[in-house]
Amino acid sequence: MQNNSNTNQSIDNEEQAIKHKDLSYELYEQNKLEEAIQEVNKALKLMPNLASGYLYRAWFVTDKKLIDEAVTDFSKALELDPKLIQAYFFRGNLYLDLKKDEEAIRDYSKVIELDSKYKSAYYNRFIILKNQKQFEDAIKDLNKFIELDLSNSNAYYQRGLIHSELSQNEECLRDYNKAIELNPQFENCYFKRAFKLKILGKLEDAQKDYEKVLNLNSKNEDAYNNLANIFNELGKLNQSIDCYQKLIELNPQNLDAYENKAIQLRNLGKIDESIICYNKLIELNPKNADIYYSRGVLTMNKNINDSLNDFTKATQLDPTNKNAFYNRAILLGKLERNEEAVQCYHQLIDIDPQNSDAYYNQAILLNELGKKEEALYSYNKAIQINPKESNSYYNRALILNEKGEKELALKDYNKTIELNPSYVSAHYNRGILLKELGKQEDALESYKKVIQLDDNYTQAYYCRANLLDDMGKSQEALKDYQKVLDLDPNYTNAYYNRAILYNKLNKTEEALKDYQKVLDLDPNYTDAYYNRALLYSKIKKNQEALNDFNKVIELDPKNAEAFNSRGSVYHELEQDQEAMTDYSTSIMLNPINSNAYNNRANLYSDQDLKKESLDDYNMSIQLNPLKSNTFCNRGILLTKIQRNEEALADFNKAIELNQNNAEAYNSRGILYKDLNKFDLAFKDYFKAAELDPNNLNSLYNRGNLYNEQGQKEKALKDFKIILERNPSHAETYNTRGILYKREGQIDNALADYNKAIDINPRNPLYLTNLGSLYYSQKDYNKAKNFFSLAQGCLESIIHSKFKCRHLSPENIEFIQNQLKLIADIDSQLQVARNNINALTNAGSIDGQQKKAAFLEEFIQIQEQVAIGLKPTNEQFNQQQHQQILDFLSKIDQQIKILTIKVEESQNKNEEKINSLESKVLQLQEQDSNILQQELQFLQRPENLNLFLYYKSLFWRLYNYLHAMQLMSTKFIALNSDEMIESNSEKVVEILKNISNTSSFIIGSVPVVGTIFTAINAALDYAVERVKEKKFQNRLEALTQIQKKYFVSPSDQEKEIQFAAIFLAKKQISNNIQYDDGALNPFTSKLSILENNYETNSQSEYWKRGIQDTLIILQYLEFHSATILKQQENKKFRQVLQDAFQFRNKQEMDDQNNQCHLVQVSNSSRCCQLI
């Protein structure tokens, strides 16, 4: 019974346990977890071996996250029932969650072993295998799962993911497609398929899938982000920006969205909108260095200071941000804050010691700071880190070149080209360096390579042109210069250098055009003005040269060379004061300017200031002991002061320094000639001519020596060559004239002398030679005229009115003594002739015989004078000069002896003659004293008007008469019989060459040009309109009157001064009006023309002086025949009295005849001269 009772009890407990277990599950499904656990515990208490109870309780505690208890219960259930599939499966799930993959796999495998169609076990085991990258086994489980459940879209999706991992793209897409087919709303599958399509480059298909995702889920941020990326790749930036904006709307804290939107706005050029995005980013995340960096990049070209601030902030927030340091350094460099930039690169290098760009950029800045050694160190480091970077070698070469380490620089240029054969600048700079190293052919190759790489590289053509010019390849150089100008018509330096080349090629016009083009392009191009001035000076356009030198000095007031060169032009123009000022200024600006000392020494030498000249030559040589020309010039000076040995040493030194110095050979030849070493002289002259065929001085000197040696044919040959090359070489015409005269070729001699005078009409030597020629031909009047002209020019030279560079002080002294002797001889001859003629009064046969004897002796003396008047040139030495003077002095004595003989023949008149001579001397002295007193009276302030009248009358009358005298002599020299008028080309040309020969006492202006023409027009007015030869007749009349009354220009000046003073004192001080007569228009015209020279030319007294001048000249012209017949002792001042007496008488006659033509309103018409 008991057993039965126990059995029944057991059954009852089992039934109760089952009920409790079943009830627990019901409670579990009702989410009454605690009650469910209580019930299952009751079941297990009633039936401890109830495997399903442990299974249930394991499920319940799993929900309570009591994992260990759950595992224990599942294990207990399996212990009680090893075939309990669910216990294996769920315990496997717990193991899966606990990452106990091996235990989970064993449990899932046990499930599959117990039930091969348990698909969830396959799926979960697949998950573990997938996570373990055991894709092949994983796919097998998934395939089994799909086999058991063909409609499970997720299974296809999962298999697609594994195919994607295995890059099995076709299988992947096939599974994705199947999953979507099974589940058209499968969002994740669309997303993954889109991702795969994008990878495969099928952007449009990917775009559609992402758009489907967003249709299914408009808040899918990843889909918006990936779709934006696709739009970026498709270039649809606006759609991309819309996606980022949607992301921002979904999540206003989405930093990536703001940043990506900012990037695309920047790509669209919407910089301001992009900056707004970055501003928002910084607001959201103010500690993010990268955001500051990105905004800094964005504003680099917009606001450099804002950009710099952002990079600075980025480096502060992230001291390891290499890019921020790099860009910050770049900006500091742009702002020329180079020291800070260098320091920033140092910080970058500390962070990144292998950053070659940092070293490279730092080197650039260090070089700009002048820290070349530090720059080289940085370039070395950059090259050490990155030996393939050609720019580093290139820039290092630039510094090495600047430091003078040319070979190292060349090595770096070569390395640059090795690394980058197309590096144009490297080829170009290597060409420049090779030229400097004298490797001209290699330099040409470099320039050629530049042009091959870039046939529009203007500078390469320019440099090659300069190089070709240096190599003497002028035509090739010209082609390159033209190419430069074809590429760049405004390339100033190309015009400038081509002008220099044209000048070397003697293409003067082309050179001048290029210089003008330079100045059109750059009106302040000082060197162009300077070089053009040198060219103008070379072609003797001295005024143009002066204009350019003036411009150089205006642009550069401290240009010592400009002052020096302008001084040379002034020197050439014989404007010594200006030249001296310029040379001295040049020396003041540059005290070591040896050229300026040399040039000033030349000027001192021309002025016969030998000590000053020698001092400057010495200083020039001290400053530059290698200047050949200075030794040559000093040698010339030393010859002048008879220090011949020192001179010879200087010439030798000049030749030693420059064996091609033609002038040194020429000057040494002159010295050898003076030392009577004629063979050596010829040798040097030949050498000079060989070295410089255009050196006319050596040819002239050689020809002159041939002439002196009697080798006339050789002399004439040299003279011919000179005149072919320079038809204006006056010295050659003069010297050849001497040769022709000696050979008896008088016509040729006359032609050559006249030609020399045409070229240099103020040279007293040429005038004296021509006078001597006429004297030898017994044309004593012409001889006297030219001697008079020579005397006038000589006086002008002595009084420094003009210079005669080719005449030394010794030449001038000789001419002065010669002319004095000629004047004395002529005076003595006149006295002797007059005394001989006076002997006829005796009437006796004895008297007639004495007269004939005296006449014969007189003629013999005249012939000796002709012999003694030997023509000379500037190279006659002192001994030759003295021989001529001694001969003339001897003749002078012979004449005096003859005069004494004649005087002895008329002793009875001796006392009377002596008395007359004494009286003449007394009168001359008295005249000079009176003249000085009268001038002092007129120059008083209260006599200003009288002085104006005096000046007006005197300078015009004196200068006009003197000009007419010079012109008469000129036409005589030309042997011209043709009719001439006052405005003819010959008259105009002669006027240009007439010097200012006016009074030394008060000064004046020349009666030349328009003033001369206006005076003649006034005088022509009174001559019959149709009468021919008006001017020629006037010229002859006035010349004859002056010959009668004047022995010298000083006599003429004195006589006209007396007349003008007397007439001035006769003027009425108040209410002066000049006549309103026929001469009035000419008076007004002349007063206007003379305003350029006299500020008071509109004064009534000045105009009266004009009118009285015209009245006097009319009288002299119309009454010349009467004047010439007047007694010998009548003075010219009295002739002027006659002019006004005649005028007064004519007016009175006109009044008596009631034919009043000109109203006389003052007493100047009838004043008396004492």
Residue of 56, 127, 49, 46 lying closest to 87 (CA atoms): 56
pLDDT at 912: 47
Higher-confidence position of 228 and 833 = 228
Furthest CA-CA distance within the chain: 234
The model's confidence at residue 1170, banded by pLDDT at 50, 70 and 90, is very low
Higher-confidence position of 935 and 311 = 311
Contact 901, 854 (CB under 8 A): yes
**To the nearest whole number, what is the mean pLDDT of the chain?**
84
The encoded tokens of residue 41 equal 């515990």
pLDDT at 156: 93
pLDDT at 1077: 66
What is the Cα–Cα distance from 824 to 831, expressed in whole angstroms? 10
DSSP state of 592: T
- Residue 657 scores a pLDDT above 60: yes
Name the H helices within 420-573.
424-436, 440-453, 458-470, 474-487, 492-504, 508-521, 526-538, 542-555, 560-572
Q: In sequence order, which residues have a C-beta less than 8 Å from that of residue 937 and are 6 or more positions away?
A: 943
- Residue 485 scores a pLDDT above 60: yes
CA angle, 957 then 960 then 962, to 5°? 105
Per-residue pLDDT, averaged over 286-298, amounts to: 92
pLDDT at 830: 73
What is the Cα–Cα distance from 1008 to 959, expressed in whole angstroms? 9
- Residue 170 scores a pLDDT above 60: yes
- Residue 68 scores a pLDDT above 70: yes
pLDDT at 987: 65
Using a pLDDT cut of 70, give the percent of the chain over it: 83
Q: Which amino acid is at 455?
A: D
The model's confidence at residue 1163, banded by pLDDT at 50, 70 and 90, is very low
- Least reliable range by pLDDT among 317-326, 753-762, 885-894: 885-894
Tens digits of residue pLDDT in 672-694: 998 999 999 989 889 899 888 88
Per-residue pLDDT, averaged over 436-457, amounts to: 94
Residue of 523, 471, 465 lying closest to 494 (CA atoms): 465
DSSP state of 1088: H
Residue carrying structure tokens 């007004």: 1084
Tens digits of residue pLDDT in 705-746: 998 888 999 999 988 999 988 898 988 999 999 988 888 899
Higher-confidence position of 57 and 883 = 57
Using a pLDDT cut of 90, give the percent of the chain over it: 56
SS (H, E, C) 708-719: HCCCHHHHHHHH
Could you tell me the residue ranges of all domains in the chain? 218-286, 779-905, 907-938, 948-1165
pLDDT at 36: 93
Long-range contacts formed by 296-299: CB under 8 A, 24+ apart: 296/324, 296/327, 296/328, 297/327, 298/262, 298/266, 298/271, 298/274, 299/271, 299/275
* CATH 2.60.40.10, applies to 218-286: no
What is the Cα–Cα distance from 247 to 228, expressed in whole angstroms? 10
| Side-chain half-sphere CA neighbours of 1076 within 13 A | 1
pLDDT at 940: 83
The model's confidence at residue 877, banded by pLDDT at 50, 70 and 90, is low
The model's confidence at residue 1048, banded by pLDDT at 50, 70 and 90, is low
Terminal CA-CA length for the chain: 208
The model's confidence at residue 646, banded by pLDDT at 50, 70 and 90, is very high
The model's confidence at residue 1082, banded by pLDDT at 50, 70 and 90, is confident
Contact 416, 393 (CB under 8 A): yes
- The answer to whether the Cα torsion of 29, 35, 37, 43 is positive or negative is negative
H or E stretch covering 944: helix 944-974
pLDDT at 1128: 63
Using DSSP, state whether 280 is helix, strand or coil: helix
The model's confidence at residue 182, banded by pLDDT at 50, 70 and 90, is very high
| C-beta neighbour count of 830 within 10 angstroms | 11
- Residue 832 scores a pLDDT above 80: no
Contact 997, 962 (CB under 8 A): yes
Higher-confidence position of 1140 and 134 = 134
The model's confidence at residue 1162, banded by pLDDT at 50, 70 and 90, is very low
What is the Cα–Cα distance from 680 to 499, expressed in whole angstroms? 41
The encoded tokens of residue 23 equal 């009830």
DSSP state of 1166: S
pLDDT at 1151: 58
What is the Cα–Cα distance from 647 to 641, expressed in whole angstroms? 10
- Residue 980 scores a pLDDT above 60: no
What is the Cα–Cα distance from 983 to 990, expressed in whole angstroms? 11
- Residue 1099 scores a pLDDT above 60: yes
Tens digits of residue pLDDT in 765-821: 888 888 888 888 878 888 888 888 888 777 777 665 445 556 666 667 767 677 776
Tens digits of residue pLDDT in 997-1019: 333 333 444 555 677 777 777 67
The rounded radius of gyration (Å) of the Cα atoms in the chain is 61
Contact 1067, 1104 (CB under 8 A): yes
| Side-chain half-sphere CA neighbours of 961 within 13 A | 31
Highest mean pLDDT among 662-666, 931-935, 1011-1015: 662-666
Contact 485, 504 (CB under 8 A): no
